[in-house]
Homo-oligomer: A and B are copies of this chain.
Amino acid sequence: MADPTTPAVLIDLDVVRRNIRRFQDYADAHGLRVRPHIKTHKLPAIARMQLAAGAIGVTCQKVSEAEAMIEGSPDIRDVLITYNIIGAEKLAHLVGLARRVALSVVADSETVVEGLSGAFAGEPAPLRVLVECNTGADRCGVATPEAAAVLARQIAAAPGLAFGGLMTYPPAGGVEKVQEFMARAKALIEEAGVPVPVVSSGGTPSMTSAARAPVTTEYRPGTYVYNDRSLVARGVCGWEDCALTVLATVVSVPAANRAIIDAGSKALTSDLLGLTGYGHVLGRPDIAIDQLSEEHGRLVSERPIGLTVGETVRVVPNHACVVTNMVDEVHVVEGGEVAGTWRVAARGCIT
């Protein structure tokens, strides 16, 4: 198959399979269940690969994302949406989803619990709701184990709902805090006579220390399936583990140490994740992508740039998940050859 027109997102399926297998093996060895976050790939076919390797279900962030994934794969029968679902329209969609798959969501306030209860009170089966806990990322989540226990009891008592357990998205390196917070919250809830069936944590940077928080029963890695420059920089993986690359064409070499490629922020995005520059040109560690505009990426080097107009380069982006969201389709590579084009089913699902 000919190389796609550029810029194009390439997904190396051999690397994908290896990445999925590696974490599944770790989880199996430590008695952890795997529930991958599909935000990284947004592809039903890759969710199917993750489920076939042993995942118990998937994680989505938004209702529309879950709908798109289920539409694309009948293999997806168990979904956790790690988001506070608010508002009549979204709640109606959530009810529809719960009639099709085993569904769980999270909540971190009584307001969210009341909304969920109102929507599910008349449903034949209760909706499982986990309490989101803030273990240091300072995003969503109740602030203390005591607050988690209060909300758990409210969920358990709410019509249409069942208490599903505890969930957190910890900061990288926060495994001790996860253990401390979640074990304390679990004990408080169980003391009140409510079982805690699931304790869910996540994040690729910390995934191979997940077992150091033994309270954890499920893990939600996302980026591990593709990896990216941010994870190479953290020492989590090497360039050979990066399954997603952006194929780009050199469109201008206007100075001896500068070249412009046709991948800008509309392909690579402006996500920095604490890094300097916007991606890594494979095979050219001397090159920095020091500036992006929407359709231009600027490559600079302290050496002569040594690129010619019309040649292609492959770029590992800073953050793989957000690149997936920029394109209608990705080109899958097997055995080093472009083997097909897959539509990114859950791209742009922000609601």
Q: Which residues of A contact B (CB under 8 A)?
A: 5-8, 39, 61-62, 83-84, 86-87, 89-90, 108-109, 111-112, 115, 134, 138-143, 249, 251-255, 258, 260, 262-263, 265-267, 269-272, 291, 293-296, 298, 308-310, 321-322, 325-328, 348, 350-351
Contact = CB atoms under 8 A, between A and B. Distances in A.
A218 to B, nearest CB: 20
Contact of A350 (B258, B260, B272, B295): B295
Contacts of A322: 265-266, 270, 294
A123 to B, nearest CB: 21
A87 B327 contact: no
Contacts of A255: 138, 143
A233 to B, nearest CB: 17
B86 A251 contact: yes
Contacts of A266: 322, 325, 348, 350
A84 B252 contact: yes
Contact of A86 (B39, B310, B326): B310
A277 to B, nearest CB: 14
B348 A84 contact: no
A294 B39 contact: yes
A271 to B, nearest CB: 5
Given A142-B254, A249-B86, A7 B294 contact: no
Nearest to A328: B348
Nearest to A2: B89
A309 B260 contact: no
Contacts of A138: 254-255, 258, 298
A326 B325 CA distance: 8
